[in-house]
């Protein structure tokens, strides 16, 4: 082989190498691409609904947009009722619904998948005059019924007849004024519907939690995301979670005492020790089927997005549950 031919062959080899390097530099390997990332995915996704799911959805939206910069996700809260109405009316791509989806809604075209698990808890002010009795004895389901449903109990001394308290002990009952998953779930625990709940109506989870915090004689209920601080994992200052006396023996047994931190409560929810309801799955709803960028977002939520649930204060779905839902998104 002549020197001229060798030089020509060398030149061609170098040229091919340069082209390959340039191609690789411009086309990142899918092996190094984060799960769920798609450089060509574009679109705008609107999400509306449950206060219970709002903090989790904001986190999901932030993380998904980081790996899919061509997608814009707008999230707003307003209650599960609004989320369902917006989804069925085509005003939102995803409705956040923190309760079961009713058959009549499915007949209207509601298509849904669960996303994470959380719960509703009964609340009182940390300044409640019978705070020690609440923590030691809790309240059982029947007493909750007599507070929120029948109205038979109107005084804290009727909850704890043998307790000692100084001053007024009138019971100030609060509920939600908006159609929402938390009141529907809390009512379901007592075998009723939201419209059956007695009490002063307050709009939204933040509003109800604040109303109870400010009223030393108040009693209410809220999604756990508004009662526990996700950073400290402790109950929000000024609020008190009322333990449920599940076995109705008049005291909180060691196996019922799991409200100290968010992680303790979530463990109890995950194992079924905390009753369901008021523990429940939080659903993502759309009209007939998830499409385009919305479908890819929901797929990501069910898979890689589950890893963000614990830090945000929620419980991930089981692998069995996820595997049963993914085929609905093909």
Asked whether residue 284 carries a pLDDT value surpassing 70, the answer given is: yes
Pairing outcome for strands 239-241 and 218-223:
unpaired
* Average pLDDT rounded to a whole number, residues 60-88: 97
247 contacts 137 by C-beta, under 8 angstroms: no
Query: Cis omega (within 30 of 0) on the bond before 275?
Result: no
State whether residue 122 is helix, strand or coil. strand
Q: Using CB atoms within 10 A of its CB, is residue 246 exposed (0-12), middle (13-18) or buried (19+)?
A: middle
Residue 162: predicted pLDDT: 82
Predicted confidence (pLDDT) per residue in 159-176, tens digit:
998 887 678 899 999 999
In this prediction, residue 28 carries a pLDDT of: 47
**Cα separations in angstroms, 250 against 12, 246, 256, 260:** 87, 9, 12, 20
At 95, is the secondary structure helix, strand, or coil?
A: strand
Output the pLDDT for position 26: 42
Across the chain, what does the average pLDDT equal? Answer: 91
- What pTM was estimated for this model as a whole? 0.85
Q: What is the pLDDT of residues 182-235, one digit of tens each?
A: 999 999 999 999 999 999 999 999 999 999 999 999 999 999 999 999 999 999
For 183-245, the DSSP string reads HHHHHHHTT--GGG--SEEE-SHHHHHHHHHH-TTEEEEEEGGGTB-TTT-BBPTTEEEPPB-
Task: Give the rounded percent of residues in the chain with a pLDDT score beyond 70.
Answer: 89
266: three-class secondary structure by DSSP: helix
Say whether pLDDT at 179 is over 60: yes
Residue 178 CA to residue 201 CA, distance in Å, equals 8
| pLDDT value, residue 308 | 98
Number of CB atoms found within 10 A of residue 160's CB:
19
pLDDT computed for residue 8 by the predictor: 46
């Amino acid at each position: 082989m002549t020197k001229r031919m060798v030089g020509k062959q060398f030149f061609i080899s170098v040229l091919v190498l340069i082209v390959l390097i340039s191609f690789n530099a411009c086309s990142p390997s899918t092996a190094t691409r984060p799960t769920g990332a798609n450089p060509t995915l574009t679109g705008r996704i609107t999400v509306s609904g449950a206060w219970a799911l709002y903090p989790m959805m904001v986190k999901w939206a932030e993380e998904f947009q980081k790996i899919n910069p061509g997608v814009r996700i707008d999230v707003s809260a307003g209650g599960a009722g609004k989320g369902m109405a917006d989804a069925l009316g085509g005003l939102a791509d995803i409705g956040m619904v923190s309760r079961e989806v009713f058959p009549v809604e499915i007949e209207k075209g509601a298509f849904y998948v669960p996303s994470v698990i959380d719960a509703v808890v009964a609340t009182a002010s940390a300044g409640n005059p019978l705070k020690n009795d609440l923590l030691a004895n809790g309240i059982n389901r029947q007493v909750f019924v007599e507070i929120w449903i029948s109205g038979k109990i109107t005084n804290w001394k009727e909850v704890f007849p043998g307790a000692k308290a100084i001053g007024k002990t009138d019971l100030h009952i609060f509920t939600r004024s908006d159609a929402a998953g938390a009141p529907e779930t809390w009512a379901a625990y007592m075998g009723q519907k939201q419209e059956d709940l007695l009490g002063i109506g307050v709009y939204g989870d933040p509003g109800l939690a604040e109303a109870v915090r400010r009223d030393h004689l108040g009693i209410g209920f809220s999604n756990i995301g508004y009662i526990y601080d996700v950073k400290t994992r402790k109950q929000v200052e000024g609020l008190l979670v009322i333990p449920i006396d599940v076995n109705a023996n008049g005291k909180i047994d060691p196996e019922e005492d799991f409200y100290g931190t968010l992680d303790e409560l979530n463990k109890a929810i995950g194992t079924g020790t905390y009753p369901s309801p008021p523990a429940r799955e939080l659903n993502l709803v759309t009209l007939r089927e998830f499409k385009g960028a919305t479908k890819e977002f929901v797929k990501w939520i069910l898979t890689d997005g589950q890893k963000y649930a614990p830090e945000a204060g929620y419980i991930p779905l089981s692998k069995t549950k996820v595997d049963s839902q993914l085929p609905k998104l093909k």
